[in-house]
């Protein structure tokens, strides 16, 4: 720092001893600091004596300096907030003999600093100048001292407080401390000083200035990005930590920086891009954040990419620590100790601080300690230690192996029990005994035996059902083990009840779980009152389990644990685990070990999971009433990577261009790829050979591969198979399929091509099939191109005839126009040469005038038609005849051709008919006449209500005819 044109260097002595700034580095091997008792900082101007309160000792703890210092005048008071400088008052100064230019001082404030004497300020020792061209990139080295803790870096431009502001062109690495300028500009010329600050002590150290000057021999041209700041290829990150990756490149123009994950997953919202994208910050690092990251630097001259993999690890943490336990002698101890971590922790046990020896009755499996046939010497302090390469944790508990005779002093039996006649009563007998006591019962002096009303319970208790008045009396429990016997007694009083016949019923409709409780009915009169109480228990399906979590995860399994929810007065009988992935349709039942999870188990292993897939889990409890609501989902977890197991399906191929072998397959779905770096291994060989040719397809979504080589014969059989791989290794190949190489396109043109005019809008083209061998592939058909006289051949239209067809009808053409056509054969490899061109002229258009004055006459089922002759115009085709079309109301169609202007039809008169007439010509059918409706006439003939011969009607009198027919029918 510059203070009134003089230099002052602030270096905390504890930091100074670890730095290389000469000459104070000489102190490093000889001195150590005894911490002082107050906080603060001291400073002095160059040439002024500095007072510091500190004691300097040799490494052997013998004092180097221990003398009375003379009191000097007070130092001037200076305060600088940025470096935490505080006031200094009385100072004593002492030059250390044997350390030239070094000065150690004493001050009443107790924080120690080092200071350089006159002429030795680091600010006066200018470093060598760095000379660059304008437009060139440059790196200014900080000269970072050996790290004595966590450091941060900044750079001063020329003078304090002008700090270098980072942007897309300038970057200060917090890893190396260096200053990077992607593209130097004239405004960058000046002196640069590196400031190193210890985050622990917040003590800054100012380095020597480095001049940056421009060369005069020209300007640097444009060049592609060159990455200078790059994160490691592999970086292990702890769970919950904050990960910072740096990336910066020199280049002209200034490169743009972007980040992405190679698996294509988007960045979650917690990830922040800082320092103009030069640093990516990932807070609260979790397993799903692990993966391969890319930093892409790009400008107009090119791009460069840096890659690095973040791996996830977690120190062990307890899932189930051990607790103090008291166990009876000769019993079996099962102590489960369970921790989670990545990698999976290993376990070991200590007893009283020493390694626990495994013998016949002492076994350790997956962290669980089992000791059978306990004896008193097994008592002690036990320690379960879980560890992986990232940490060690331990859990301690006391095991007390006890042996005692039964004792009722701490759990006495009830003195009195009152019950109603007809009810059931339970007697408890739970003395403290190690090992557990065996219980027998007496009533008075009579030994009780089990019968239809009396039951001896497993816990030592007694149950009497359907109590009678004779069951009243004293019941005694005798508890015995190998160390002694004890007894306890309970008196049973049996009382009567009576009924009240008044109306006092309570009815609860649509009963719910909330209605459970104790209900009391009270009946009062003027002279007395009675009450009766009852407990109402409403049983329902269980509530949702709680605190579902994933304790351990592998590539195909997950260890799930949970806590029981409410059982709603009906014990839980089983639990079911459900799983969900981004690829599943809703929640699906998961396969577990054990397959059936009983209601007293709160952990299970889910198996048959897909590797490298994100899962959520939830648990459903079931009791005798039914299944309850599912729990809340667990946190999302991703299974570990594994070698792929499923090869692609539908491997086939064929087609393509000459000298090509096309191989196709259905890509493997993402949920079956089992990890990052998924791709395909394509193997093929000519049929009958033994050596496979292999190639790699790196894109997991690619469905085909094309092999090109001039040596490939047309339509030759190849054996092909497609395998899979990822970062974990290679998986299986598909079944071998036979695929033919690309066919050879036809080499000859069809012969015998002719074109014939069919009408004013259609021509027919015919040809002779080309000779073809199956060894050349499959002939798919023929392509016909056509164009008229006014068109260019290049803009011709095309139609195709499939297979072995040797003619095709081309429609939709213009009338009375020359059309040219040519034919060629084609297959999957392409098309052959065109034939010679032939032409045909379409006919003139058909007559536009419709037949007029159509008259009809009906006799029985015979219809006689006549009409006026149609005369074609000069530009129309001559009339060659007429066509009569007759449609019935049932959908039938009759067509009759005639050369004259009359026609005779035989019709079923039970239907209505529509009749129209058209002129025919070489150019096609002309316009239709107006439609004639012949009504249903069968009823009239059948009833004989009309004349046998009807008059002739013109179309204009049709309505009158219909009215006359209707009227005659009514008159009949």
Tokens of 424: 């059931």
Confirm if 590 and 600 have CB atoms less than 8 A apart.
no
Distance CA 39, CA 56 (A): 18
pLDDT for position 879:
85
DSSP 150-186: -EEEEEEESSTT-BPPPSSSEEE-TTT--EEESS--G
CA dihedral 583, 584, 585, 588 (to 10 degrees): -170
Q: What is the pLDDT of residues 45-88, one digit of tens each?
A: 333 344 443 333 323 333 333 333 333 333 333 333 223 333 33
pLDDT at residue number 441: 92
Rounded Cα distance, 591 and 769, in Å: 63
Residue 859, Ramachandran bin (φ over 0: left; ψ between -120 and 50: alpha; else beta)? beta
For β-strands 210-219 and 130-134, DSSP reports them as: parallel
DSSP state of 555: S
3 state DSSP class of 122: helix
In the structure encoding, which two tokens stand for residue 422, read together? 């007809």
Let me know: does 387 contact 315? Beta carbons within 8 Å: no
Q: How many residues does this entry show for the chain?
A: 972
Preceding omega of 253 cis (within 30 degrees of 0): yes
pLDDT of residue 463: 93
Cβ–Cβ under 8 Å, residues 16 and 196: no
pLDDT at residue 375 in the model? 87
Look-up of token digits 């499939």: 802
What is the pLDDT at residue 122? 41
Query: How far is residue 530's CA from residue 459's CA, in Å, rounded to a whole number?
Result: 37
Residues in the chain, pLDDT under 70? 1-125, 144-149, 496-504, 517-520, 524-527, 774-776, 909, 937-972
Q: How far is CA 722 from the centre of its chain?
A: 26
**Which tokens go with 928?**
């239709």
Task: Say if residues 189 and 213 touch (Cβ distance below 8 Å).
Answer: yes
Closest CA to 733 of 832, 636, 645: 645
pLDDT at 262: 87
pLDDT at 844: 85
Q: pLDDT tens digit string along 134-163?
A: 999 999 998 765 544 578 899 999 988 889
**So what's the pLDDT on residue 95?**
41
C-alpha to C-alpha distance for 909 and 937, rounded to whole angstroms: 5
Structural tokens at position 564: 């029981």
Q: What is the enclosing helix (H) or strand (E) of 943?
A: helix 938-943
Predicted pLDDT at 942: 31
Task: Pick left, alpha or beta for residue 310 (phi over 0 → left; psi -120 to 50 → alpha; otherwise beta).
Answer: beta
Taking residue 523's Cβ as centre, other Cβ atoms within 10 Å add up to: 12
Whole-angstrom distance, CA of residue 237 vs CA of residue 378: 42
Confirm if 722 and 737 have CB atoms less than 8 A apart: no
- How far lies 560's CA from each of 187, 366, 601, 634, in Å? 62, 16, 11, 9
16: left (phi over 0), alpha (psi -120 to 50) or beta: alpha
Helix (H, G, I), strand (E, B) or coil at 377: helix
Whole-number Cα distances in Å, 393 to 261, 313, 352: 34, 15, 17
């Amino acid at each position: 720092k510059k203070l009134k044109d003089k230099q002052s260097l602030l270096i905390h002595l504890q930091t100074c001893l670890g730095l290389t700034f000469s000459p104070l580095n000489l102190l490093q091997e000889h001195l150590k600091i005894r911490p002082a008792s107050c906080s603060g900082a001291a400073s002095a101007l160059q040439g002024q004596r500095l007072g510091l309160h500190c004691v300097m000792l040799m490494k052997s703890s013998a004092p180097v300096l221990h003398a009375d210092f003379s009191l000097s005048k007070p130092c001037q008071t200076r305060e600088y907030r940025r470096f935490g400088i505080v006031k200094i008052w009385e100072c004593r100064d002492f030059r250390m003999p044997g350390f030239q230019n070094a000065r150690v001082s004493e001050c009443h404030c107790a924080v120690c600093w080092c200071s350089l004497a006159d002429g030795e300020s680091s600010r006066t020792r200018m470093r060598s100048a760095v000379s660059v061209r304008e437009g060139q990139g440059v790196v200014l080295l900080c000269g970072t001292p050996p790290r004595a803790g966590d450091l941060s870096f900044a750079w001063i431009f020329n003078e304090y407080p002008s700090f270098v502001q980072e942007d897309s062109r300038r970057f200060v690495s917090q890893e190396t401390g260096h200053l990077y300028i992607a593209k130097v500009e004239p405004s960058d010329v000046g002196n640069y000083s590196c400031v190193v600050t210890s985050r622990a002590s917040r003590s800054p150290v100012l380095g020597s200035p480095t001049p940056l000057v421009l060369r005069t021999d020209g300007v640097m041209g444009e060049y592609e990005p060159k990455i200078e700041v790059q994160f490691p290829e592999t970086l292990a990150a702890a769970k919950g930590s904050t990960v910072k990756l740096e990336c910066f490149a020199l280049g002209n123009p200034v490169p743009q920086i972007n980040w992405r994950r190679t698996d294509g997953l988007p960045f979650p919202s917690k990830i922040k891009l800082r320092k103009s994208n030069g640093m990516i910050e990932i807070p609260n690092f979790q397993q799903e954040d692990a993966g391969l990251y890319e930093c892409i630097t790009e400008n107009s001259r090119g791009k460069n990419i840096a890659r690095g993999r973040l791996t996830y690890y977690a120190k062990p943490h307890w899932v189930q620590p051990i607790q103090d336990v008291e166990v009876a002698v000769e019993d079996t101890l099962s102590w489960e100790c369970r921790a989670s971590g990545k990698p999976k922790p290993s376990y070991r046990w200590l007893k009283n601080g020493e390694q626990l020896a495994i013998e016949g009755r002492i076994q350790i499996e997956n962290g669980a300690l089992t000791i059978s046939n306990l004896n008193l010497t097994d008592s002690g302090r036990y320690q379960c230690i879980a560890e992986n390469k990232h940490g060690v944790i331990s859990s301690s508990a006391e095991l007390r192996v006890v042996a005692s005779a039964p004792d009722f002093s701490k759990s006495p039996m009830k003195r009195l029990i009152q019950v109603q006649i007809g009810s059931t009563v339970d007697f408890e007998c739970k003395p403290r005994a190690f090992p557990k006591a065996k219980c027998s019962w007496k009533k008075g002096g009579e030994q009780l035996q089990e019968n239809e009303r009396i039951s001896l319970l497993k816990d030592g208790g007694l149950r009497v059902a359907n109590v009678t008045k004779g069951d009243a009396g004293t019941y005694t429990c005798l508890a015995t083990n190998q160390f002694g016997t004890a007894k306890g007694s309970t008196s049973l009083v049996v009382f009567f009840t009576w009924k009240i016949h008044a109306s006092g019923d309570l009815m609860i409709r649509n009963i719910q779980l909330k209605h459970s409780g104790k209900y009391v009915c009270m009946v009062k009169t003027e002279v007395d009152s009675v009450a009766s109480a009852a407990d109402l228990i409403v049983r329902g399906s269980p509530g949702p389990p709680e605190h579902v979590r994933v304790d351990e995860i592998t590539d195909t399994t997950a260890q799930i644990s949970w806590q029981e929810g409410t059982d709603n007065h009906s014990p839980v009988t089983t639990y079911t685990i459900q799983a969900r992935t981004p690829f599943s349709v809703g929640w699906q039942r998961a396969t577990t070990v054990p397959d059936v999870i009983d209601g007293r188990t709160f952990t299970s292993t889910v198996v048959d999971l897909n590797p490298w897939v994100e899962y959520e889990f939830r648990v459903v409890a079931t009791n005798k009433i039914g299944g309850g609501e599912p729990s809340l989902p667990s946190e999302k977890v991703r299974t570990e990577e594994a070698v792929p197991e499923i090869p692609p399906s539908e491997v086939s191929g064929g087609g393509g261009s000459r000298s090509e072998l096309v191989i196709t397959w259905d890509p493997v779905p993402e949920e079956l790829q089992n990890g990052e770096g998924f791709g395909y291994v394509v193997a093929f060989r000519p049929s009958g050979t033994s050596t496979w040719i292999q190639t790699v397809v790196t894109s997991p979504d690619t469905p085909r591969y094309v092999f090109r080589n001039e040596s490939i014969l047309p339509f030759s059989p190849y054996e092909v198979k497609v395998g899979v791989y990822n970062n974990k290794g290679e998986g299986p190949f598909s079944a071998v399929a036979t695929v033919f190489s690309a066919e050879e396109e036809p080499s000859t043109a069809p012969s015998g091509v002719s074109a014939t005019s069919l009408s004013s809008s259609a021509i027919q083209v015919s040809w002779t099939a080309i000779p073809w061998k199956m060894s050349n592939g499959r002939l798919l058909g023929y392509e016909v191109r056509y164009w008229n006289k006014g068109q260019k051949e290049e803009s011709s239209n095309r139609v195709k005839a499939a297979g072995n067809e040797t003619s095709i009808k081309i429609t939709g053409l213009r009338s009375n126009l020359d059309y040219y056509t040519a034919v060629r054969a084609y297959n999957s490899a392409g098309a052959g040469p065109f034939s010679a061109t032939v032409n045909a002229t379409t006919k003139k258009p058909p007559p536009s005038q419709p037949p007029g004055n159509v008259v009809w006459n009906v006799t029985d089922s015979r219809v006689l038609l006549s009409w006026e002759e149609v005369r074609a115009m000069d530009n129309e085709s001559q009339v060659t005849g007429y066509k009569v079309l007759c449609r019935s109301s049932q959908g039938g169609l009759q067509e009759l051709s005639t050369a004259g202007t009359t026609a005779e039809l035989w019709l079923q008169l039970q239907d209505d008919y529509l009749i129209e007439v058209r002129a025919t010509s070489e150019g096609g059918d002309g316009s239709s006449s107006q439609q004639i409706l012949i009504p249903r006439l069968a009823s009239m003939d059948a009833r004989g209500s009309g004349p046998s011969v009807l008059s002739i009607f013109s179309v204009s009198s049709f309505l009158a005819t219909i009215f006359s027919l209707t009227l005659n029918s009514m008159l009949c």
